[in-house]
A = this chain, B = another copy of it.
Amino acid sequence: MNDHLLSCDWGTSTFRLLLLHTPTSRVEAVIQTDNGNAAMYQHWLDQGRPERASFYRSYLQQQVKALSRTCRHALEGLPLMLSGMSSSSIGLCELPYDELPFELDGQLPGHRYFEATNEFPNPIWVFTGLKSATDVMRGEEMQVLGLFPALPEARQTAICIFPGTHSKHIQLHAGRILDFHTYMTGEMFQLMGHHSILKASVEMAQTDNTGISPHFAQGVKVGAQTPLLNALFHVRSRQLLQGEAAADNAQFLSGLLIGSELSTLKDPKAAIVLCAGKKLSPHYRAALDALALPHRCLPASAVEQAVSSGHIRLAAALGICSA
C-alpha cells in the first residue's frame, strides 16, 4: 500500500500541491503557483475550450513532474486528491454540492474519479463541497474532515469558526455538520478600506501583523452592538469628531467587522472552536475575548494542514494509502 499521497488544494486564486508521507502526515515537498481556478478557467477559454478535464489534468501533470524534480522521487501512479474550487463551475469538473447533514466519521464526500492513463499517470479523486438552503462552501468541509479527530467538541455540539475573506461558521452536532453560514468579513474590510467613503479615514497598509491596539477591541464592541450599516459610518465620525489617526481607525474598522460577525455567537449553546491560520488567529482571539465568549483555539499549524489531513483520512478510508 502507498505510504505517500499527492494532496492538492486548488482555490480560486492559488494552486498548492503537496507530497505527503501518510503515516506521519509529514509534508515532503510543496509547489505553489498563482494559477488558481479563476486563472486556469481564463486560460481554458483563451485556448478555445478544449476538453476541460484533460486541460486541467495536463496542468496537474506538469506540476507533479515539477514536484518530482524538487524531491528527486518518482511520483508516477501516486493517488492525487483534489478539493476546493476544483469541483466548481470554474474547476476541473463541476460536481453537485453534497447536502446536509454531513457525517464526519465514515461518509465519503461526493466525488469524481479519474483513472490513471499513459498520458496522465496519476489517478485523481475530485471532491465536492456542501450546500445548505441558503449557503455554499467548497473547501472548509475538507478542513473539518481533517480536523475532526482533534475536535472532541464535535461529538457533542460545537461551532467551528474559519476566518477569512469569506468566514465560515460551521455548526457541528454528534459528529455531523448540521449547518453553516458564510460571512463576507474579509472582503468587506477590503472594500470599505479601499473603495468606500471610509477610505479617507483609514490607513490600510498598517493593518498587517502590527499587533492589535485597543482601537480593535473598541471596534469589536461597537460592531457587536450596532447595526452594521450604521456602525460603519462611526469610522468616519471618529476621524471627524475625535481626530482618530487613520492607522488606529483601520484597527477599529477591522474590529467592527469581526465584532459584527461574531455577535451572532452571543449565548451559544455550542462550544466555540476557533480554526484560524497564523495571520488571522490573533485578531479573532482578541475579538472573542473582547466579547467574553469562551472558546478554544486550534493550533494555527493544524488548521493550515487541515486539508491535507482530510485527504489522508479519505485516502485511508478508500484503502489506497496507509495512515
Contact = CB atoms under 8 A, between A and B. Distances in A.
Interface string A247-262: 0000000000100110
A134 B234 contact: yes
Contacts of A167: 229
A229 B261 contact: yes
A232 B134 CA distance: 11
Interface in A22-49: none
A184 B232 contact: yes
A263 B227 contact: yes
A183 interface: yes
Contacts of A257: 229
A227 B136 contact: no
Interface string A145-158: 00000000000000
Contacts of A182: 230, 233
A234 B183 CA distance: 10
Interface residues of A, number: 36
Nearest to A167: B229
Interface in A229-243: 229-230, 232-234, 236-237, 240-241
A21 to B, nearest CB: 36
Contacts of A228: 227-229, 260
A241 B131 contact: yes
Given A228-B260, A260-B228, A233 B183 contact: yes
A42 to B, nearest CB: 14
Contact of A187 (B197, B230, B260): B197
A135 B191 contact: no
A93 interface: no
A191 B195 contact: yes
Nearest to A188: B229
A285 interface: no
A228 to B, nearest CB: 5
Contacts of A185: 229
A241 B187 CA distance: 22
A257 B228 CA distance: 10
A233 B195 contact: no
Interface in A73-102: 97
B237 A135 contact: yes
A229 B260 contact: yes
B191 A237 contact: no
A16 interface: no
Given A187-B196, A191-B196, A196-B187, A233 B264 contact: no
A112 interface: no
Nearest to A234: B134
A61 B116 CA distance: 80
Given A134-B234, A191-B191, A241-B136, A229 B184 contact: yes
Given A134-B237, A184-B196, A191-B192, 9 more contacts: A135-B233, A135-B234, A181-B233, A183-B227, A183-B230, A184-B233, A191-B191, A195-B195, A227-B228
